[in-house]
């Protein structure tokens, strides 16, 4: 059987998981054996850059940024593109390097608006556990951090007319997927 796999070696690993090409963390011998799956593949790197093909300097700078090896000229290229925070439209999508920075920005935006709500998670236990087990599980989820729940907080602070991005797949058929954006309009 022939199999072709495409991917980006600079892509972030899945949430709460390792890179697909790293050794299996459940195998105690993985550090000695590596990941035998990928030994069966041959890598062919695509080297032609299409998005920035008309700006070769920017293309090289973006690749070097991904590798963390920028020179002074490339740093200046990015610095020249910086804008004052007040010049960014309120509805623009912003990217941050940490969840803490995302939370701080979101809290700031929510405080600017008078129409605030807090959505509380509705957790359900499936199966037929006894009430004691069910209550312990529900309390554990209520007390867990968002990081422990794949980025889903128990209480989500929202504000009307603010743009939001979904960070997990909620309902693929309804297009409520990781990366989908929308403006919160109605409660």
Note the pLDDT tens digit of each residue in 78-103: 999 899 888 988 778 888 888 788 88
Domain range for 166 is 87-184
Per-residue pLDDT tens over the stretch 9-44: 777 777 667 777 777 777 777 777 767 777 788 888
Does residue 152 lie within any of the structural domains? yes
pTM above 0.85, yes or no: no
Among the listed residues 56, 58, 111, the one whose alpha carbon sits nearest the alpha carbon of residue 80: 58
Does residue 115 lie within any of the structural domains? yes
**pLDDT (0 to 100) of residue 22:** 76
For residues 18-49, b (16+ Cβ closer than 10 Å) or e, as one string?
Answer: eeeeebeeeeeeeeeeeeeeeeeeeeeeeeee
Domain count, the chain: 1
Does residue 44 lie within any of the structural domains? no
Does residue 158 lie within any of the structural domains? yes
CA-CA distance, 182 to 184, in Å (whole number)? 6
Does residue 150 lie within any of the structural domains? yes
Does residue 97 lie within any of the structural domains? yes
Band of pLDDT at residue 70, cut at 50, 70 and 90:
very high
Does residue 43 lie within any of the structural domains? no
Mean pLDDT of the chain: 84
**pLDDT (0 to 100) of residue 15:** 67
Does residue 95 lie within any of the structural domains? yes
């Amino acid at each position: 059987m022939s199999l072709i796999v495409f991917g980006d070696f600079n892509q972030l690993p899945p949430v709460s998981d390792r890179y697909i090409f790293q050794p299996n963390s459940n195998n105690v011998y993985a550090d000695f054996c590596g990941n035998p799956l990928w030994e069966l593949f041959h890598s062919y790197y695509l080297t032609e850059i299409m998005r920035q093909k008309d700006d070769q300097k920017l293309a090289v700078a973006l690749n070097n940024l991904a590798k963390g090896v920028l020179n002074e000229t490339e740093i200046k290229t990015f610095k020249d593109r910086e804008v004052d925070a007040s010049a960014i439209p309120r509805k623009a999508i912003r990217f941050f390097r940490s969840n803490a920075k995302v939370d701080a920005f979101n809290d700031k935006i929510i405080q600017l608006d008078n129409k605030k709500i807090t959505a509380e998670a509705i957790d359900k236990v499936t199966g037929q556990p006894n009430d004691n087990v069910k209550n312990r599980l529900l309390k554990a989820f209520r007390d867990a951090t968002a990081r422990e729940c794949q980025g889903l907080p128990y209480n989500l602070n929202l504000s009307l007319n603010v743009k939001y991005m979904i960070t997990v797949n909620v309902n693929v058929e309804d297009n409520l997927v990781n990366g989908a954006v929308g403006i919160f309009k109605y409660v």
